[in-house]
Structure 1
């Protein structure tokens, strides 16, 4: 007698199928793919100069004030929580070097913070989707830099709500102000804007 898979098993199979499909597309389709609670997100545009320059400047500024064993990493791999069915790729991952010594994706619960630079083509991915997914993944601090407006926000203090975990604290900033990310404060002077 065959036993029908329960809902959790179906979700796991669905997630693995999406992840395997995306891995097969990685080198053939331009852009970046992520898996969210709603399905697959595809940012078709390669990041433009202001996006990449913001990531580089924020990463460098963080690494100047953080201890040597903590990195503001801008590379791969993704962060992934298979039981939640989420695979994301933050623009900057604040993470201990020791937590990077793994095969495959990073455990999102090892991140000190995730930093995103808002894409010109898909701002809702950062302001809505990741604001929902990052507390589900247990990432304690989420920081958004928005080159469209020259502003951003630091979100922290995950708490439970009827709709799932959410950030309880939001501190908005404008470019030119200092911003505190976890335990470190950096300047937001001279960050580029989209033209």
Structure 2
């Protein structure tokens, strides 16, 4: 029978192997690769078009209101929590510029919010898996924009449940309404919808 440190070490080795695979495959694989507790998630979305237009419009609207020391960042690196074996890449990360002064993945606990634009190819990744992973990682606010339906939700207030940390508050919205993410309220007017 294995003891706890042995189990943790095997989990860490397994996670590192998945990270190595993701790093090697990233440039040759279309879409986005992320790691969850269940394994590697491959989101086949093409990184442009209506998905990216939504992310750009939301990012610009947020940054107009935020203080200069904060960013609505849409680039790399990933957000990682090694002990939990999770590596995610939010479409938009609200983060302090000083917390980006690192040469590795961002610590998820430094994010103010994670924002996702639902992809056509794998909507459950945003509506199910990330809704579970982001509170586990300690991301205080998770906002979802869904161009398939013209709806979304903002989740906040992490609390303990028997299944693990979850968001206690969920505020749904429809495109055309103003939506509050943290301290900032942005319009959803003019966000594109998938055909």
Mark yes or no: TM-score above 0.5.
Answer: yes
Q: Distance in 2 between matches of 1:109 and 1:45?
A: 27
Q: Distance in 2 between matches of 1:31 and 1:173?
A: 27
Corresponding residue number in structure 2 for 1:149:
149
Q: Which runs of 5+ in 2 are unaligned?
A: none
CA apart distance, 1:112: 0.2
**SS state at 1:34 partner:** strand
The within-5 A match list for 1:123-138 is: 123-138=123-138
Deviations 1:159-188 (A, max 9, x none): 000110000000000001000001111111
TM-score by length of 2: 0.96
Deviations 1:98-143 (A, max 9, x none): 0000011001000000000000010000000000000010000000
CA apart distance, 1:46: 1.3
Q: Distance in 2 between matches of 1:182 and 1:192?
A: 23
The within-5 A match list for 1:108-119 is: 108-119=108-119
Corresponding residue number in structure 2 for 1:120:
120
**SS state at 2:42 partner:** strand
CA contact (8 A) 1:47 1:119 kept: no
Corresponding residue number in structure 1 for 2:70:
70
Corresponding residue number in structure 1 for 2:38:
38
The within-5 A match list for 1:164-179 is: 164-179=164-179
CA contact (8 A) 1:155 1:168 kept: yes
Q: Which runs of 5+ in 1 are unaligned?
A: none
Q: Distance in 2 between matches of 1:134 and 1:108?
A: 8
Query: Aligned in 2, Cα 1:10/1:51: closer, same or farther, shift over 3 Å?
Result: same
Corresponding residue number in structure 1 for 2:161:
161
Corresponding residue number in structure 1 for 2:8:
8
Q: How many residues were matched structurally?
A: 193
Query: Aligned in 2, Cα 1:5/1:169: closer, same or farther, shift over 3 Å?
Result: closer
